[in-house]
Amino acid sequence: MECYGNPMLPDERSDSVVIDIENKLSQIHRISAECFIFRIRDQVRKVNEKAYTPEVVAIGPYHHKNSCLQPMEGNKLQYLKLFLQKNKEFSVGRLVKAMRMMEGKARRCYEQPVDLSEDEFVEMMLLDSCFVVELFRRFHSKEEGDCNDPVFIMESIRSSIRRDMVLFENQLPFFVLQAYFDMTKIGDEPNVNLTHMALEFIGHVFPSPDCSPTFPPPLDYEANHLLGLLYNSLIPSIPEQKLKIGRTNIRELIDCSTELQEKGVKFKAANVSSLLNIRFENGVMEVPPLIIDNYTETVFQNLIAYERHCPDGNPRYVSDYIAVMDCLINSTEDVELLSKHGIVENWLSDDQAITNIFNRPADNFIAFGNDCIYAGLFNNVNEYCLRPGTQFKAQWDKWMANLLDNYFNSPWALISLLAATILLALTVAQTLTTEGMSRLCASSSLCFSYEQVIEMNSSDLFFLETQSEGTLVHNLFSIRLDNL
């Protein structure tokens, strides 16, 4: 039997396998407990790579060397120059020193190794934080800045920057932004809050005044970065009782909006501040209105990516919201229905584009679980649709609606209906009178026309009294008296 002996062989240092493994071990990046800025996984990125890639500006190290984003680096320098010109008490050296003190802590916030030297990383932190904070300050004070500044000359550039600032990979630690803001705070803004200013700018990624993020967020909340701030700003206004419904199991998904309407469910635009606050009560589903533009899909997918990196057990608010909208929207007819009720406003090319937004994320990486925050809503909707008489009432309402739309859409239609009703009533009355006389005559051996009865005198009636039963004569006499 071969004996392997002592594993400490004299030549182990020269073993190529040992050398190779040791090199690989030395290159492993130890994930810190402070890490909260991650990379998008390849299987998620391939679904829609554009949704996770900056268009005009790199914030943080992950896209810092992207050549397509270099033009905005000049604008970052310009923002720093303008700040230093206005505030002579500050210097580049003072700002760099402050950033250098945070370099190690900031670097540990990133999941993957940052391919930047210490000096490069510090410079990136300073220019990016200066650009972000000074942009927020200008937007808050309505200061237009330099006439050559493309950010304030073109709304499209500003919208693209806003979109890039909420990308999952395109983030700076919020404590870096806060440190720069606190250090450069000037006398006329003692009560200005960075969190408030940040939400004031990035909140417009949802271009709807009623559904802009609620700010400020809870006082005990410390944002990790701008995307996390946006995410948490959507949550506070959901009532406590609404969150507890997630402990109910989902027995069955709900139908699309057109099918729900056929089953008696009515839709209404909810007047609430939170986009996620969907409610159902007494057969009415209230959904907060949402304007859908070119960046809506990108924002939702990055919010979902952030949500998937939250600790297990946390509610998946945005994922559940998208899944509900996926149920409600299966076709362009569903989009048309929701648009009619003010729930969806389409700023895209067509209704099919909206269908794609809500169907694509759900198909690729959203699945319902028993902890869905809308589980109770689903069950209540399905129970309502199965109630006896609900579908009949819905069909009756549909018939009445069609009647009103098709036959009562003008005053002349109502007048025509009234005239036809009166004519029909007169015709029926005349028919009943004629039939009554015919039956009266048929029951007797004597038959007279209506005109003949009117012309009879008393002697004629007396003669008839002696020739027939009194009932006939009495009836004829009554007819004559009524017409005298």
Whether residues 473 and 335 fall in one domain: no
How far apart are the C-alpha atoms of 228 and 417, rounded to whole Å? 62
DSSP string, 287-323: E--EEE-TTHHHHHHHHHHHHHTSPTTS--HHHHHHH
Q: State which of 389, 404, 419 marks the end of a domain.
A: 404
Q: Of the residues 404, 434, 456, which one is the last residue of a structural domain?
A: 404
For the chain, the distance separating the N- and C-terminal CA atoms, rounded to the nearest angstrom, is 140
Domain for residue 211, yes or no? no
Query: For residue 149, which of 89, 214, 76, 206 has the smallest C-alpha distance?
Result: 76
pLDDT at 128: 98
Does residue 235 belong to any structural domain of this protein? Answer: no
Cβ–Cβ < 8 Å for 152, 145: yes
In order, the DSSP letters of 79-132 are: HHHHHHHH-TT--HHHHHHHHHHHHHHHHTTBSSPP-S-HHHHHHHHHHHHHHH
Q: Hey, is 447 helix, strand or coil?
A: coil
Tell me whether strands 344-346 and 290-292 are parallel, antiparallel or unpaired: parallel
| Residue 438, CA atoms < 13 Å, CB-side half-sphere | 6
Residues 256-266 as b/e (b if ≥16 CB within 10 A, e otherwise) read bbbebbebbbe
Residue 53, number of CB atoms within 10 A of its CB: 18
Instruction: Report the number of distinct structural domains present in the chain.
Output: 3
State yes or no: cis peptide before 216, omega within 30 of 0: yes
Hunting for tokens 């003008």 — which residue is that? 410
pLDDT at site 245: 45
**Domain limits for position 194:** 42-200
Residues 362 and 454 occupy one common structural domain: no
Last-in-domain residue among 379, 404, 429: 404
Q: In the prediction, which pLDDT does 244 show?
A: 47
Q: How many residues does the chain have?
A: 484
Q: Which residues face 268 on adjacent strands?
A: 286
- Whether residue 227 is contained in a domain is answered as no
For 292, the 3-state DSSP assignment is strand
- Are residue 184 and residue 270 in the same domain, yes or no? no
Q: Domain check: are 270 and 351 in the same one?
A: yes
pLDDT at 64: 97
Co-location of 301 and 443 in the same domain: no
- Residue 396 and residue 270 in one domain: yes
Name residue 291's beta-bridge partners: 345
Judge contact between 274 and 288, C-beta under 8 A: yes
Same domain, 190 and 83: yes
* 418 and 292 in a common domain: no
Residue 35 near residue 111 (C-beta atoms within 8 A): yes
For residues 337 and 335, give the distance between their C-alpha atoms in angstroms, rounded to a whole number: 5
- Residue 234 Cα to chain centre, angstroms: 11
The SS3 of residue 377 is helix
The bridge status of strand 284-287 relative to strand 279-281 is antiparallel
Task: Please indicate, yes or no, whether residues 172 and 90 belong to a single structural domain of this protein.
Answer: yes
The answer as to whether 158 is a domain residue is yes
pLDDT at position 47 = 86
Residues 60 and 75 in one domain: yes
The pTM assigned to this predicted structure is 0.77
The CA–CA distances, whole Å, from 410 to 25, 396, 398, 421, 424 equal 81, 22, 19, 17, 22
In a domain, 321, yes or no: yes
Is 23 within a domain?
A: no
The rounded average pLDDT for each run of 10 residues, N- to C-terminus, in the chain (484 residues) is: 54 74 71 84 90 97 96 95 91 96 96 93 98 94 68 88 98 97 80 89 79 56 88 70 52 91 94 88 95 94 93 85 94 97 93 90 55 89 84 57 64 76 85 69 53 57 52 50 49
Whether 226 maps to a domain, the answer reads no
Position 355 in a domain: yes
What local confidence, expressed as pLDDT, does residue 416 receive? 77
What would the two tokens of residue 187 be? Answer: 């006398």
Residues 433 and 361 in one domain: no
- The reply to whether 51 and 181 lie within a common domain is yes
Distances (CA, A) of 311 to 175, 307, 314: 21, 9, 6
